[in-house]
Structure 1
Amino acid sequence: MALKRIHKELSDLAWDPPAQCSAGPVGDDMLHWQATIMGPNNSPYQGGVFFLTIHFPTDYPFKPSKVAFTTRIYHPNINSNGSICLDILQSQWSPALTIPKVLLSICSLAELFNRSRV
């Protein structure tokens, strides 16, 4: 089930990629992806390119993927190891969520951080 769903999400990403984000498998390992997020405009991260790893559990989508930044980033919701404090990656995970939605939520964290500092 996991691989079928992951292949569908990869196909959806190719068909309709989210703005400022990309993701795909590392080599032939469909359970390990690398993602890229461009720093949102008008944010402290504008112009930055941030890399993340995505590790899918074998029971995905019933359990959330593990997503972490590999690029160092200063943000109150991201610890020094790159772990992201985001409810949809933990207690609020739903099988209806997809990697594009997760990446857009991570992008929103950067935008919200910028607005909260104004």
Structure 2
Amino acid sequence: MLTPTRKRLMRDFKRLQQDPPTGINVAPQDNNIMLWNAVIFGPDETPWDGGELILALHLLSENICEDEQLYV
């Protein structure tokens, strides 16, 4: 049974697939909706042009507003 948090994350992922943000790739890891990977690409014609910021988001709790960890 899916918890409200997992349902929300699945809904968010579906929305990201349908309308992906420009310059960002984000998706859950394999089959674990609580672990996400993201890459933010440096905007063109800025000091960050060609750069990549690689992120891992680990949601530790079933309460989406608590206990997130972000690794850069």
Equivalent in the alignment of 2:41: 38
Specify the alignment match of 2:9 in structure 1: 6
Residue matched to 1:87: none
- SS at 1:40 equivalent: coil
Aligned-pair CA distance for 1:64: 6.5
Q: Partner residue of 1:65? A: 68
Task: Give the number of aligned pairs.
Answer: 68
Higher helix share: 1
Whole-angstrom distance in 1 between the partners of 2:46 and 2:67: 28
- SS of aligned partner of 1:14: helix
Q: Distance in 2 between matches of 1:32 and 1:23?
A: 11
Percent identity over paired residues:
25
Unaligned segments of structure 2, at least 5 residues: none
Residue aligning to 1:16:
19
Hey, which of these two has a bigger chunk of strand by percent? Answer: 2
Looking at structure 2, the residues matched to 26 and 6 of structure 1 have their Cα atoms a distance apart, in angstroms, of: 12
The unaligned stretches of length 5 or more in structure 1 are 70-118
User: TM-score with structure 2 length normalisation?
Assistant: 0.82
Moved over 6 A (4+): none
**TM, length-normalised to structure 1:** 0.52
